């Protein structure tokens, strides 16, 4: 399976988020910091990675935050500004002890989608269960290939985002 694994939901996910949020806030100051991704949805399993979204007003702020975040272990900066976010992680590989930071512009399309997707799954347990089942199937089909795993989930996510917007 190549190292890519799925884990059942853990009550430790919100605790890990709060711990990271405190560390991040100490370094960057007063910004909107949100828990997103699968670990932010009670009952939803995933890769076990804590995804954190930090909202900024402009990209100059994002670059300054990235410099500050490097000092507390977010040394891998993945260039994604063209997709509406600056993405940082503690480790290059997708391990269950990793933390991902998505720096996005407040009110942007990406901002709305990340929060909308999370909130929809939080309110719709059946949809959350359906999504986890899809993840398990995608993992089996991807045979440990992370980009293939992501690609296999894409259509579902796009469909759900359209549903949320309407």
Q: Is residue 26 part of a domain?
A: yes
Write down the pTM of the prediction.
0.91
Half-sphere exposure of 24 (CA within 13 A, CB side): 28
Domain presence at residue 154: yes
Query: What total of structural domains would you count in the chain?
Result: 1
Q: Is residue 67 in a domain? A: yes
Domain that holds residue 155: 12-165
Report the distance separating Cα 84 and Cα 165, nearest Å. Answer: 18
What's the pLDDT at 82?
A: 56
Gap between the Cα atoms of 135 and 95, Å rounded:
16
- Kindly list the averaged pLDDT for each block of 10 residues, start to end, along the chain of length 166: 79 96 96 96 92 93 91 80 78 72 94 96 96 94 88 95 87
In a domain, 40, yes or no: yes
């Amino acid at each position: 399976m190549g190292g890519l694994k799925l884990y059942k939901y853990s009550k430790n996910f919100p605790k890990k988020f709060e711990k990271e949020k405190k560390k991040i806030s100490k370094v960057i100051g007063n910004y909107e910091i949100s828990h997103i991704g699968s670990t932010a949805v009670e009952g939803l399993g995933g890769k076990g990675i804590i995804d954190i979204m930090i909202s900024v007003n402009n990209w100059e702020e994002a670059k300054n935050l990235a410099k500050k975040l490097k000092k507390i272990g977010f040394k891998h900066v993945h260039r994604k500004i063209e997709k509406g976010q600056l993405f940082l992680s503690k480790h290059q590989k997708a391990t269950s002890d990793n933390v991902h930071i998505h720096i996005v512009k407040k009110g942007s399309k990406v901002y709305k989608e990340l929060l909308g997707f999370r909130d929809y799954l939080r309110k719709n347990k059946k949809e959350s269960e359906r999504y986890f089942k899809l993840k398990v199937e995608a993992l089996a089909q991807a045979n440990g290939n992370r980009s293939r795993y992501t690609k296999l989930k894409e259509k579902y996510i796009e469909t759900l985002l359209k549903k949320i917007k309407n």
